[in-house]
Amino acid sequence: MNRSSHWPRRVSIAALGILLPLLGPPAGFGATPPQDAALAPSRLATLLEAHDVPVSSAEIDTAVSEAMLAAIDPFYSWRGPDHAVSASSFPQAWDWPLGLGYLIAPEIADATVGDIEQTLRQWAQDPCRGIVIDLRGSGGSSAAAVNRLAGHFVPEGTVLYQLVDGRGTVIETHRALRTEATLDDLPPAVLLVDGETRGAAEILAAVLDSRPTIMTCGTASAGDGAIREALPISTNRMLYIATRWARPAGQMLLKHHPLNPGITVSDTNNYVRLFTDIPADALDEKRSYARRNAFQTLATFTHEDAVLSRAADALLAFDILASQATSEPPGEAEADLAVPASPSNPQPEDK
């Protein structure tokens, strides 16, 4: 197979000469190799050819380029000039029993933030007791979207994170942003993360972690926390690569330092109730104020997902403890206990 036929998809060494000074040396690089190890691609090709290993300089250039790009950003990719956010990147939302809302946000991007806010607005208007925002496998590369979403949960102007370049130089400081669409008094939220949570989604989870009424749940994130840009390489090819990395306020640089969620649970674990220290009378109250079928229906949505089950349990426990603190009964209204009907969640028939 002639690997050089794939060269239009690769970046040239000349382009890397422009790119690398911008990004700075990747982690682990910087040591000067021995002089006898510095072989020019053409010399290496000649040496291999002499030993009956035919290889072209273009093939060596391609391999070197790919290795350098992967060292800078293991998640780099190639895009066309007409790249657009796919339909699968937009959020999906469901109303669950017991006043919980579940939102899957596959990408935190300028094109998707409006849809996420619309769902949050709907839940703020029909007040729900808690929100689960699923960022597992999520990415994105919009710092503006992070700032805007964070503005719904923290005061305007709160320092969220700094962006640094490949040399560790601070380029920008980002703060929570409030707009005319900003919501107040959102219910408690749990953000789900895993080893595939990266980019803007990982930054959002990190800056909101441990804020009042916000919890993170799942497994350690990717340790990426990068903002990526599309750099034009040719008229029909763009290199999508990390150019800035986030350092959340009071935390370490996310690059190589993943977010460890406050509630750690693997999706392969058997579900074990988290709040074992809730007083027995509180648990009894929990059973009494909610109809049995509402809990059973909620369990059908979460029972195969230990992380999701733990998040739902944490929100319900938070609701009970908050209600006890205010001496108000936790959600006695019949409407709160009913199972909401929707095309993806039909109302069960009474038996």
- The SS3 of residue 96 is strand
Using DSSP bridges, classify how beta strands 237-248 and 159-164 pair: parallel, antiparallel or unpaired.
antiparallel
Tokens of 299: 């369990």
Looking at residue 281, its pLDDT comes to 54
What is the chain's pLDDT, residue by residue, as a tens digit (351 residues)?
444 444 444 444 445 454 544 555 444 444 444 555 556 767 777 888 888 888 777 787 888 888 889 988 988 999 887 777 788 889 999 999 888 999 999 999 999 999 999 999 999 888 788 999 999 999 999 999 999 999 999 888 999 999 999 888 999 999 998 877 778 778 899 999 999 999 999 999 999 997 888 999 999 999 999 999 999 988 889 999 999 999 999 889 998 899 999 999 875 555 444 444 445 555 555 555 545 667 677 777 787 788 998 898 888 887 766 665 555 554 444 444 444 444 344 443 443
CA distances from 50 to 46, 53, 59, 289 (A): 6, 7, 17, 82
Question: For the chain, what percentages of helix, strand and coil (3-state, to nearest 5) are there?
Answer: 35, 20, 45
Domain formed by 87-264, architecture: Alpha-Beta Complex (3.90)
Looking at residue 260, its pLDDT comes to 94
The residues spanned by each domain of the chain are 3-72, 87-264
Q: How many CB atoms lie within 10 A of CB 116?
A: 22
Full-model pTM: 0.74
